[in-house]
Structure 1
Amino acid sequence: MTFTAAALGGLMAWRAGVFQWDLWLATVFGLMFAHATNNLLNDYTDSRRGIDKENYYRNQYGVHVLEDGLMDEPQFWRYVGVTAGIALALGGWLVYQRSGLTFDLMLAGAFFVLFYTWPLKYYGLGEPAVLLVWGPLMVGGSFYVLAGFWSWDVTWLSLVFALGPTTVLFGKHTDKLDADKAKGVNTLPVILGEKISRYAVLAMMVAQYLLCIGLVVTGSFAWPLLLVLASLNSMPRLFSLYSEPKPEEPPQNYPEGIWPLWFSAQAFRHTRRFTSLFLVGVILDTLIA
């Protein structure tokens, strides 16, 4: 996901004739190691606050490096030191090479790495943070580092991409709404309620299609971006699934290893198809341009 965001920003820079391999590679690896650091700190924060103890929702579908005993705390902090150190070193080099807004973008990224899990996620700001980070910050920021100027066309395009992971996260937080509420984790679905959250995910999916149409109508991008409309045939099924609460038990023949994820799994399936068509459309449009 992070690589794709940086690749999209790089593609836009190539389209504008300002692509540089050294800057792009430093951006890609810097963002990926920053994301790794965030994942580790996410595990640490929720573990130490008692959120991920015992059979919490998070432990039922994924690996937890501390709760599963994959490393002790000294090993954990050495690992964090490596990932964060590489991210900071690459970010510092990019600031030296490009200056301008690069330092501000690096500070914004560091803020979300450090504070996404707490307090942002605990107070309904985690989902907006993901939209901002995987959109304007990563895609727009990658473009800026390469081009040396900000592009609002790239910013709007980045939101199409960022809405994908945001729907998946929103779906996951809707799936575990009761568990989060019981633990005092006030994600946005906890604040909005289960029904509104289900329709919010659908609204974000629809927004992806509308943004693509808008970018073509305004002339920012050409017709290949409309390839995403080929995934519209999945929307009736999604509207049907999201119009009802999550079932108590997985349906028969539900893929093994996915439950208790339900809404997030449906969102991921849509995002995988939509984003594939979206990226093909952007590449074709770039080649034509």
Structure 2
Amino acid sequence: MNFSMWRKALLIIPRISKEEWDELDLISRWLIATRAAVMVMTIFSAVLAGIFAFRAGAFNFWRWILVTIGLYLAHGTNNFLNDYTDFIKGVDEDNYYRAQYGPHPLLHGLMTKKELLTYAGITGAIAAACGIPLVIIRGEWSWLLMALGVIFVLFYTYPLKYIALGEITVFIVWGPLMIAGGYYVITGLPWDWQIVLASLPYAILVTSVLFGKHIDKLKQDKELRIHTLPVVLGETPARWLMTGLLGISYLLVIYLIWTHFFTPVMLLILLAIPTLAEIWPILSNPKPDEKPAGFPDVWPNYYVAAAFHHTRRFGGLLMLAMILDTTVRLIWPDFWI
């Protein structure tokens, strides 16, 4: 077991040769092939669902565990299928963006197509094995939630991403579906539209990461007729829309404080504003042709790197603030009502 590689793969997408790959254990290979470093965003969604459930006094640990594992493995399944679909369609050839920022299981010869589909099938089966008991126990609308999840896993790469619906899909999945849907399944309580609204700041953060990625590869996607939203809008409008969305994520939290859904403790998220200011020069200017001096060694990730940096900061503060907010609600029920 290569524990150091596990840690590395959870923090970054490591570049690796075929010889190094052959020496790795199964878990290391899975973490690298699924791009586990970015899947922390799914863990955040599951944790937020759990915090909302705890706040409602209806937290069920075992349901939460199943939700978390199921969502994480569903995300991994989607990443496998994403690489497989783009590979067989010829998208990832000729030094395409995906092959530049990290190892591609098929393009770099790390796996055969059969091996990748086997990994995807087993990962997806375990995800389903987590979801099916929850659907049976919870019933009602949980069947629809799982069905939507399956549809998005199978069809995000094609056709949704190709017809400017990829960003909207991610927004729905990482907010209303994972957080509000997770809350619904964990607690057994009725569907709560306030939880849906409260899930949107984090949904925006995750969507901003995808936006950044699609702006980074806009020229290549345009040539390949992959009509992501940045391709449809153009680079400058896409950058400004992405920046505007990040601002809205702060305003939504402030609105939820004003309506007394959250307490003023949630203003802790404002500590992420310096990080937003830090990435502002990146978001407000066109992408340079070459990696800027001193820029982290993640090129050609540029806008996506900036968005991910902000998402980690804001997301971490959001989670901490929600834990404190829930604690205040439990200790002082009459505060800010």
Please classify the TM superposition score into its range, dividing by the shorter chain length.
over 0.9
Residues 244/15 of structure 1: CA separation in 2 closer, same or farther (3 Å cut):
same
SS of corresponding position for 2:93: coil
Provide the rounded CA distance (Å) in 1 between the counterparts of 2:94 and 2:185.
43
Q: Is 1:111 aligned to 2:151, yes or no?
A: yes
* Corresponding residue number in structure 1 for 2:88: 48
Give the structure 2 partner of residue 121 of structure 1.
161
Give yes or no for the alignment of 1:10 onto 2:57. Answer: no
Of the three residues 226, 229, 241, the one matched with 2:270 is 229
Contact 2:275 2:313 in 1 (8 A): no
8 Å CA contact retained: 2:86, 2:92: yes
The aligned amino acid for 2:129 is: A
String of CA shifts for 1:75-123, please: whole Å, max 9, x gaps: 2222122111111122111111110111110000000000000000001
Which residue does the alignment assign to 2:281?
Answer: 240
Deviations 1:164-202 (A, max 9, x none): 111111011111100110111110000000100010110
Moved more, 227-236 or 279-288: 227-236
Alignment-derived partner of residue 215 in structure 1: 256
Is 1:274 the counterpart of 2:314? The answer is yes
Alignment check: 8 A CA contact 2:84 2:113 kept:
no
Does 2:213 match 1:156? no
Mean alpha-carbon deviation: is it higher for 141-150 or for 191-200?
141-150
Residue deviations 1:238-279, cap 9 Å, x none?
A: 3333222111111112122x1111111111111111111111
Identity of aligned residues (%): 46
Would the aligned equivalents of 2:73 and 2:123 in 1 still touch at CA under 8 Å?
A: yes
TM-score (normalised: structure 2):
0.83
Say whether residues 1:288 and 2:331 are aligned partners. no
Give the letter for the 2:101 counterpart.
Y
CA distance in structure 1 between the partners assigned to 2:248 and 2:112 by the alignment: 44
Higher RCO structure, 1 or 2 (CA under 8 Å, sep 6+): 1
Instruction: Map residues 252-271 of structure 1 onto 2, 5 A cutoff.
Output: 252-256=293-297, 258-271=298-311
Supply the AA of the counterpart residue of 1:72.
T
SS in 2 for 1:206: helix
- More displaced 10-residue stretch of structure 1: 123-132 or 156-165: 156-165
Moved more, 146-155 or 9-18: 146-155
Question: Helix, strand or coil: the match of 1:50?
Answer: coil
Q: Distance in 1 between matches of 2:122 and 2:169?
A: 25
Runs of 4+ in 1 over 4 A off after TM superposition: none
Aligned-pair Cα RMSD in Å: 1.2
Aligned position for 1:170: 211
Aligned twin of 1:93? 133
2:44 touches 2:315 (CA, 8 Å); kept in 1? no
> Paired residues, what number?
288
Which letter maps to 1:128? I
> How far apart are 1:237 and its partner, in Å?
4.1
| TM-score, normalised relative to structure 1 | 0.97
Partner of 2:61: 21
The amino acid that maps onto 1:64 is H
The letter for the 2-side match of 1:83 is: T
What aligned pairs does 1:184-199 form with structure 2 within 5 A after superposition?
184-199=225-240
SS at match of 2:157: helix
